[in-house]
């Protein structure tokens, strides 16, 4: 059994808009005569778009029409029809995410990109995708080291820290190549927050003033210092706190970072520095040089990122989708389901039927924000529920609680980590019968605060694609 | 002084009264072994209190015995991808003592699972009646596969008499090559298949147990019960990784002498493979598809 | 041909040579299952006594399956050197036995005679040999073959590295490969039995083997043991680098059909290996056999499992294989009941293979439903080395997690080399020394540390940066 699906990644960033198509191969890795175990075995990028400047209508608005045109043109150039695209993600990143019509753009694009292309935004997710697109998770695993990826874009620098391949933290600061723009010898734009902080640091800069290379160089070196501080390589100064995007959190102090990969547009122009540092009408080239020459950053073990300017878009196309376990129960007519908030039953509440029920019912009530119920995904690890008897006990609680607390027209969606979903699904069906639709998946670890997208079944109905959108990364 | 035999019987009695439904076989063994050890310590001078750890419980994947390896973590991590006995070091060009004993322990469990019988108490507890093939003993079973593919006369009569006729699905259990596998897994698999079939509104026949059964005897059972689908839960030939692996063989309208390729097989059912409850749910779904498509084995496209 | 004799006061009359051959066999549960075995010990000896008087010519004229009906018979008969055959055809089996054992008969003379022997003659003389005779006779015969390196040279003893994995996981397989090489296994071949036997998967594994072999400059050969057509597809469609082409074979056309092969198919496979294989050659084929496989596919034509096994070797030699081995204890107790029968069969198969002129190894193994244990298999392995066997298997601690049987472990070949004063294939021996895994034919303390391959990998990666 070998099946391939096409996945798309679209990144609308501060400065650039890009797209990739990749082919994900799924294979049954269980032996013949065994219960199937379908996994994604290969991810091959089959098409990379040109890199476009993100079209804007004004400083505050993205030009939706033009973005759509770019995407349509690229689908055509790749010879791919949106109907063929089975999964993927549109992500809006950096400063662009702060534009007033960002949500509208995302919605419009994910709709036109394919049936199960999810919309995603948020600095934490962006950091993770860039890190995975840069291959930092793999590098960290292979070298058994704590390696951070710093994706330096136009508006933000996204950091994702991996320890032995495992994600241990993300962070995002407002350091980017397009936070100051220059044209024809004049400073044409300064990101207001940066302007304020720079002034406080004795580096006052105004829009309209003539370009002073020395001053811009000092600002870039200062921004590179902020990166070193964010990685805990340099003692923090008082302005540093102000750099965190949307008041976000710094990376955890542990593990101590050993290695670094650099991705993003700025990293892209570090390898071959153009002669004119202002050829992009911004400070990207200078910032790249400042990062390269920063003492603390260059003290880390340098690893080459698999992708630089395309890291985020590759992450969006290749690394957002996972497949569920291969023995699941689901009513496929309900799928796809998008943006399901996750109701997590923590390990400590699974000890007895009573505590399980209490946790479930209290939380179900919370998922009625306006008095109206949202379709939620009940998530639990499933350890200790392997035997037939324990599965029955779990099914009893789930069936009873959903009857009492879940509005009639909502399906019961349950995701577990352990391989028990088919047995649990059948047990639920015996209890709930025709009264309620049931979707029961395993192999999925989703935590409180996550959102889930569940696609239509693949591999002859054995698995479903799942995207877990981690909006807040809990360290 | 209490002698060993007396002590053992006291402990067994206490254990019996304790009713430990969740305790597994290994744990029972451990308790018995502990009992034996305690008994010995009354007898032998110089013997100390306490129980040695059970070497068979060591996870081979996490064991790494090479001395002064060049890059321990790197190989340890690669080893996680293999169930093989790797990273075991050496003593000269021979094995270290611990892996040697672990190997012997695994082989002893494997042999015992072949050469022992399924406990009649277990069969009773499962509420199954028992029939036998034409094999009269284990030895005959191992050397005469042809005789293990047919029920003896009493067996034929019992199946005819006690089983519901023409069920949609006939499920039965057989020892095959591992009694341990059957006792460890068959109960959960059977319950789970039955529940799954119930969720699909499919009727099942009367389950029973076949002693000294080869897979092929299922075809005779199909003909006797006139079931559409027949499913046997049978112990697999044990390996050293586990002696408790069970398979299910499933046919749609099987007949004596039909090609082996017409059987659908689900193997590797055990607590470290596909767990029994989930395997049962999977089998129930396969049966449902078989009834819909009226085929099994290579003829069934799933 | 006299088929009647008296023994211990009883008269025994056999109906056919087929019956004599079957009943002259040492006890095997498979012959009993086929209902052709001697009724008792005395009848067995009577059959041996009758067989001792049968001439080689009579054996040639009574092949197990008629020439007209069976491709295997035709290949064996047509391959004979008639001149050499004529030199020995009037010998009785008893005389031929003594000729083999005679101090004046050198290994070279036996190898020459081999070209005039049909498999029925080989099987017949085997039936008159005791275990020590089988060892003594086989030890004289030296069969070498060359793929990338030369196997079977005097003073050498080799091992196949068998890194089988329950799901063909690439990393898991390589973990086994590394540990096997670090213990001196793999000079015969690095060969895996795949779970997923699609051409694509076979190609993937072959590529990973080739890459490893090249990276570490290991003088050996690689193989993935799928069906011959699958391997051909892997080579042609997926450009898989293969040094050896594998196939399981049987001693009759019908038996081969059960494996889905014909003689022409093997010829085609060998041609492809000559044109597109990666090995220097000339010997590019690898075959596996095992007593009982013909009976299990009802392809034995009423003959005993030993004779059918001999015919595998007669068939194999047509393709000038680099390796042939019997997987002696894999088939189960209904064919070889216990350790006694397995040890006997292992010695028989090895002797017959060598007498047929093929480069012979043995997978000394057992399943868990057989009355045998690791001690028995270590006995057999030691006896095989004494008999001059070319190679045995090497599996992590003898436990094959994928085929669920026990064979010989990575440590066994090394131990046996040290005990018997033997070395691996010379180039491989030098490689082991270069890597620091052995010195003067003995494992060093570093042997068994598979992480050596990973350590270096890291260092090189960093140097390249």
The residue extents of the domains of chain C are 4-139, 145-443
Q: Does an H or E element contain B73, and which?
A: helix B72-79
Per-residue pLDDT of A362-407, as tens digits, reads 888 877 766 667 788 999 999 889 999 999 999 999 999 988 888 8
Range C4-139 has CATH code 3.40.50.620: no
Mean pLDDT of chain C: 96
In angstroms, the CA A383 to CA A392 distance is 14
For B201, which residue in chain A has the nearest alpha carbon?
A: A430
Instruction: For chain A, say whether B185 makes contact (Cβ under 8 Å).
Output: no
Both A118 and A153 in one domain: the answer is no
Per-residue pLDDT of C336-385, as tens digits, reads 999 999 999 999 999 999 999 999 999 999 999 999 999 999 999 999 99
In angstroms, the CA A66 to CA A87 distance is 23
CATH number of the domain bearing residue B31: 1.10.30.40
Are C162 and C192 within 8 A, CB to CB? yes
pLDDT over 60 (residue C50) = yes
Both A157 and A117 in one domain: the answer is no
Per-residue pLDDT of A427-475, as tens digits, reads 999 999 888 899 999 999 888 878 888 998 888 888 999 988 765 443 3
Instruction: For chain C, say whether A2 makes contact (Cβ under 8 Å).
Output: yes
Per-residue pLDDT of B250-301, as tens digits, reads 999 999 989 888 999 999 999 988 999 999 999 999 999 999 999 999 888 7
Out of A329, A387, A422, closest to residue B188 by CB:
A387
**Model confidence, pTM:** 0.84
- In degrees rounded to 5, what are phi and psi of residue A235? -60, 140
CATH number of the domain bearing residue A349: 3.40.50
Domain-located, residue A402: yes
Per-residue pLDDT of B86-97, as tens digits, reads 999 999 999 999
For A142, which residue in chain C has the nearest alpha carbon?
A: C458
pLDDT over 60 (residue B6) = no
Domain-located, residue A317: no
Q: How would you write chain A as a 3-class SS string? A: CEEEEEEEEEEECCCEEEEEEEEEEEEECCCCCECCCEEEEEEEEEEECCCEECCEEECCEECHHHHHHHHHHHHHHHCCCHHHEEEEEEEECHHHHHCCCHHHHHHHHHHHHCCCEEEEECHHHHHHHHHHHCCHHHHHHHCCCEEEEEEECCCCEEEEEEECCEEEEEEEECCCCCCEEEECCEEEEECHHHHHHHHHCCCCCCCCCECCHHHHHHHHHHHHHHHHHHCCCCCCCHHHHHHEHHHCCCCCCCCCCCEEEEEHHHHHHHHCCCCCCCCCCECHHHHHHHHHHCHHHHCCEECCCCCCCCHHHHHHHHCCEEECCCCCEECHHHCCEEEEEEEECCHHHCCCHHHHHHHHHHHHHHCCCCCCCCCCEEEECCCCCCCHHHHHHHHHHHHHHHHHHCCCCCCEEEEECCCCHHHHHHHHHHHHHHHCCEEEECCCCCCCCCEEEECCCECCCCECEEEEECCCCCC
CA distances, C462 to each of B12, B184, C465 (Å): 62, 50, 5
Cα dihedral A275→A276→A279→A282 (10° resolution): 120
* DSSP code, position B133: B
**Residue B34 tokens, joined:** 């502990």
CA distances, C271 to each of C76, C262, C283, C285 (Å): 20, 14, 11, 10
CATH code of the domain occupying C145-443: 3.20.20.70
Instruction: For chain B, say whether C399 makes contact (Cβ under 8 Å).
Output: yes
In angstroms, what is the C-alpha Rg of chain A?
24
CATH number of the domain bearing residue A50: 3.30.420.40
Q: With cut-offs at 50, 70 and 90, classify the pLDDT of residue C464.
A: very low
Per-residue pLDDT of A101-147, as tens digits, reads 888 888 888 878 887 788 777 788 889 899 999 999 999 988 888 99
* Stronger pLDDT, A120 or C205, i.e. the higher one: C205
Q: Does an H or E element contain C33, and which?
A: helix C29-33
Q: With cut-offs at 50, 70 and 90, classify the pLDDT of residue B44.
A: low
Per-residue pLDDT of B59-108, as tens digits, reads 999 999 999 999 998 899 999 999 999 999 999 999 999 999 999 999 99
Both B81 and B160 in one domain: the answer is no
Out of A144, A391, A429, closest to residue B277 by CB:
A391
Share of chain C above pLDDT 70, in %: 98
**What pLDDT is stored for residue A362 in this prediction?**
85
**Residue A120 tokens, joined:** 């995603």
Side-chain-facing half-sphere of A271: CA atoms under 13 Å: 12
Both B95 and B150 in one domain: the answer is no
Angle, alpha carbons A442-B268-B190 (nearest 5°): 75
**What pLDDT is stored for residue A272 in this prediction?**
79
**Residue B173 tokens, joined:** 């259990």
- In degrees rounded to 5, what are phi and psi of residue C110? -65, -45
Both B67 and B141 in one domain: the answer is no
* Boundary-marking domain end, from B81, B99, B114: B114
Chains that touch C (3 or more CB pairs under 8 A): A, B
In angstroms, the CA B296 to CA B281 distance is 17
Q: Which domain holds residue A44?
A: 2-122
* Stronger pLDDT, A126 or C31, i.e. the higher one: C31
* Boundary-marking domain end, from A89, A122, A155: A122
Show which of residues 190-249 on chain C sit within 8 Å of chain B, judged by CB atoms: none
**Does ipTM come in above 0.85?**
yes
Both B202 and B76 in one domain: the answer is no
Per-residue pLDDT of B219-233, as tens digits, reads 999 999 999 999 999
Domain-located, residue A470: no
**What pLDDT is stored for residue A110 in this prediction?**
80
**What pLDDT is stored for residue A126 in this prediction?**
87
Q: With cut-offs at 50, 70 and 90, classify the pLDDT of residue C299.
A: very high
Both B212 and B237 in one domain: the answer is yes
Instruction: For chain A, say whether B191 makes contact (Cβ under 8 Å).
Output: yes
Q: Rounded to a whole number, what is the distance in angstroms from the first to the last CA of chain C?
A: 79
Both A343 and A258 in one domain: the answer is no
Cα dihedral A128→A131→A135→A140 (10° resolution): -90
| Closest C-alpha among A152, A132, A216 to residue A180 | A216
Share of chain B above pLDDT 90, in %: 75
Q: Which domain holds residue B178?
A: 120-299
Q: With cut-offs at 50, 70 and 90, classify the pLDDT of residue A15.
A: confident
pLDDT over 70 (residue C398) = yes
**What pLDDT is stored for residue A470 in this prediction?**
67
Mean pLDDT score, B134-154:
96
CB contact under 8 A, A31 and C195: yes
In angstroms, the CA B258 to CA B261 distance is 8
Both A295 and A340 in one domain: the answer is no
Are A210 and A258 within 8 A, CB to CB? no
Both B99 and B233 in one domain: the answer is no
Both A435 and A373 in one domain: the answer is yes
- Cis before A387 (ω within 30): no
* Boundary-marking domain end, from B53, B79, B114: B114
Both B83 and B129 in one domain: the answer is no
CB contact under 8 A, A388 and B271: no
Mean pLDDT of chain A: 89
In angstroms, the CA A468 to CA A471 distance is 9
For residue A31, list chain C residues with Cβ-Cβ distance below 8 A: 166-167, 195-196
Both A292 and A242 in one domain: the answer is yes
When mean pLDDT is compared across A11-15, A310-314, B137-141, C435-439, the lowest value belongs to A11-15
For C165, which residue in chain A has the nearest alpha carbon?
A: A31
Are B236 and B177 within 8 A, CB to CB? yes
**What pLDDT is stored for residue C262 in this prediction?**
96
CB contact under 8 A, C333 and B103: no
Per-residue pLDDT of C224-233, as tens digits, reads 999 999 999 9
pLDDT over 70 (residue B29) = no
Mean pLDDT score, A270-279:
84
Cα dihedral A264→A265→A268→A269 (10° resolution): -150
For residue B267, list chain C residues with Cβ-Cβ distance below 8 A: none
Mean pLDDT score, C403-422:
97
């Amino acid at each position: 059994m070998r099946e391939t699906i096409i996945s798309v990644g679209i990144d609308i960033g501060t400065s650039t808009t890009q797209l990739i198509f990749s082919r994900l191969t799924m294979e049954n890795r269980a032996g013949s005569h065994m219960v199937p175990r379908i996994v994604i075995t290969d991810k091959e990028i089959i098409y990379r778009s040109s890199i476009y400047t993100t079209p804007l209508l004004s400083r505050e608005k993205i030009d939706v029409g033009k973005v759509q045109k770019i995407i349509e043109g690229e689908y055509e150039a790749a010879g791919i029809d949106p109907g063929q695209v089975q999964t993927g993600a549109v992500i809006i990143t950096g400063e662009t995410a702060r534009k007033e019509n960002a949500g509208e753009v995302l919605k419009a694009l994910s709709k036109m990109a394919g049936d199960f292309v999810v919309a995603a935004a948020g600095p934490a997710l962006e950091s993770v995708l860039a890190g995975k697109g840069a291959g930092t998770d793999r590098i960290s695993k292979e070298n058994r080291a704590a390696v951070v990826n710093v994706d330096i874009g136009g508006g933000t620098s996204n950091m994702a820290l991996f320890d032995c391949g495992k994600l241990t933290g993300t962070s995002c600061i407002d350091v980017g190549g397009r936070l100051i723009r220059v044209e024809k010898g004049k400073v044409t734009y300064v990101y207001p927050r940066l302007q304020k902080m720079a002034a406080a640091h004795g580096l006052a800069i105004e829009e309209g003033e003539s370009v002073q290379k020395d001053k811009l160089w000092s600002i870039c070196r200062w921004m590179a210092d902020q990166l070193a501080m964010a990685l805990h390589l340099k003692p923090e100064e008082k302005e540093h706190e102000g750099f965190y995007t949307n008041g976000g959190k710094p990376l955890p102090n542990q593990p101590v970072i050993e290695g670094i990969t650099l991705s993003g547009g700025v990293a892209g122009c570090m390898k071959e520095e153009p002669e004119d540092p202002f050829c992009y009408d911004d400070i990207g080239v200078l910032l790249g040089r400042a990062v390269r020459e920063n003492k603390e950053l260059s003290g880390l073990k340098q690893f080459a990122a698999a992708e630089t300017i395309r890291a985020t878009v590759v992450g969006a196309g290749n690394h957002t989708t996972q497949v569920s376990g291969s023995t699941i129960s689901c009513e496929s007519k309900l799928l796809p389901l998008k943006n399901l908030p996750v109701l997590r039953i923590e390990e400590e509440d699974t000890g007895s039927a009573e505590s399980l029920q209490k946790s479930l019912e209290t939380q179900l009530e919370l998922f009625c924000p306006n008095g109206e119920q949202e379709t939620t995904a009940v998530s639990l690890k499933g350890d200790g529920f392997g035997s037939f008897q324990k599965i029955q006990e779990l099914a009893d609680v789930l069936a009873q609680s959903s009857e009492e607390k879940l509005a009639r027209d909502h399906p019961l969606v349950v995701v577990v980590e352990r391989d028990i979903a088919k047995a649990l699904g059948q047990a639920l069906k015996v209890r709930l019968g025709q009264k309620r639709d049931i979707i029961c998946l395993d192999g999925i670890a989703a935590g409180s605060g996550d959102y889930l997208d569940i696609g239509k079944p693949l591999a002859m109905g054995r698995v479903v694609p799942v995207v877990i959108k981690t909006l807040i990364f809990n360290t | 002084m209490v002698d060993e035999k007396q002590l053992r019987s006291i402990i067994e009695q206490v254990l019996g009264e304790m009713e430990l439904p969740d305790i597994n076989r290994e744990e029972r063994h451990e308790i018995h072994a502990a009992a034996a050890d305690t008994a010995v310590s009354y007898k032998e001078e110089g013997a100390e209190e306490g129980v040695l750890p059970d070497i068979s419980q060591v996870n081979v994947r996490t064991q790494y015995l090479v001395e002064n390896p060049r890059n321990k973590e790197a190989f340890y991590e690669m080893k996680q991808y293999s169930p093989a006995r790797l990273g075991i070091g050496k003593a000269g060009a021979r094995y270290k003592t611990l892996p040697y004993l672990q190997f012997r322990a695994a082989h002893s469990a494997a042999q015992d699972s072949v050469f022992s019988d399924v406990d009649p108490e277990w069969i009773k507890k499962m509420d199954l009646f028992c029939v036998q093939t034409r094999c009269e003993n284990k030895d005959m079973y191992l050397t005469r596969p042809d005789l293990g593919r047919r029920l003896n006369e009493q067996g034929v009569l019992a199946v005819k008499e006690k089983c519901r006729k023409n069920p949609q699905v006939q499920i039965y259990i057989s020892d095959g090559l591992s009694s341990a596998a059957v006792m460890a897994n068959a109960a959960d698999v059977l319950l789970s298949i039955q529940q799954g079939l119930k969720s699909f509104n499919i009727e099942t026949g009367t389950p029973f147990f076949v002693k000294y059964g080869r897979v092929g005897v299922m075809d005779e059972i199909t003909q006797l019960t006139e079931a559409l689908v027949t499913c046997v839960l049978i112990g697999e030939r044990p390996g050293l990784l586990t002696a408790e692996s069970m398979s299910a063989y499933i046919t749609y309208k099987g007949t004596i002498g039909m090609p082996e390729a017409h059987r659908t097989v689900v193997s590797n059912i055990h607590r470290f493979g596909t767990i029994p409850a989930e395997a049962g749910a999977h089998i129930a779904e396969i049966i449902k598809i078989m009834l819909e498509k009226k085929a099994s084995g290579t003829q069934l496209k799933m | 041909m006299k088929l009647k004799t008296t023994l211990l006061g009883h008269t025994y009359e056999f109906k056919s040579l087929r019956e004599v051959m079957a009943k002259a066999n040492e006890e095997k549960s498979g012959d009993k299952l086929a209902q052709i075995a001697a009724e008792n010990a005395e009848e067995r000896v009577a059959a041996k006594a009758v067989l001792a008087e049968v001439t080689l010519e009579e054996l040639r004229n009574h092949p197990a399956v008629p020439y007209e009906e069976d491709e295997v018979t035709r290949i064996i008969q047509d391959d004979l050197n008639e001149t050499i055959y004529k030199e020995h055809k009037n010998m009785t089996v008893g005389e031929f036995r003594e000729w083999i054992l005679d101090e004046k008969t050198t290994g070279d003379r036996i190898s020459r005679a081999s070209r005039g022997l049909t498999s029925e003659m080989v099987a017949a003389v085997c039936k008159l040999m005791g275990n020590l005779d089988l060892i003594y006779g086989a030890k004289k015969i030296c069969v070498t073959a060359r793929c990338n390196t030369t196997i079977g040279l005097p003073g050498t003893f080799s091992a196949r590295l068998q890194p089988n994995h329950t799901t063909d996981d690439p990393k898991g397989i390589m973990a086994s490969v590394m540990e096997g090489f670090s213990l001196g296994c793999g000079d015969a071949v690095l060969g895996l039995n795949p779970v997923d036997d699609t051409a694509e998967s076979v190609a993937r594994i072959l590529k990973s083997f080739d890459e490893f072999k090249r990276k570490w400059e290991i003088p050996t050969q690689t193989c993935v043991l799928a069906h011959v057509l699958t391997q051909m597809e892997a080579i042609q469609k997926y450009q898989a680098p293969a040094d050896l082409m594998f196939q399981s074979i049987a001693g009759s056309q019908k038996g081969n059909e059960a494996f889905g092969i014909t003689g022409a198919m093997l010829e085609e496979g060998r041609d492809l290996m000559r044109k597109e294989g990666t090995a220097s050659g000339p010997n590019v084929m690898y075959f596996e056999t095992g007593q009982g496989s013909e009976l299990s596919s009802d392809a034995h034509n009423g003959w005993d499992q030993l004779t059918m096994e001999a015919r595998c070797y007669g068939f194999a030699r047509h393709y000038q294989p680099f390796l042939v081995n019997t997987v002696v204890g894999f088939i189960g107790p209904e064919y070889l009941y216990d350790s006694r029968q397995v040890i006997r069969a292992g010695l028989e198969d090895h002797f017959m293979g060598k007498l047929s002129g093929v480069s012979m190894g043995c997978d000394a193994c057992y399943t868990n439903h057989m009355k045998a244990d690791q001690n028995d298999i270590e006995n057999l392995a030691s006896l095989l080395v004494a008999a001059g066997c070319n190679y045995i298997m090497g599996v992590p601690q003898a436990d094959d997690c994928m085929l669920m049987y026990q064979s010989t472990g990575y440590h066994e070949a090394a131990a046996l080399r040290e005990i018997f004063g033997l070395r691996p294939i010379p180039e491989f021996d030098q490689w082991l020394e270069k890597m620091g895994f052995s010195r003067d034919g003995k494992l060093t303390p570093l042997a068994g540390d598979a992480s050596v391959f990973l350590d270096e990998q890291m260092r090189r990666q960093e140097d390249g940066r």
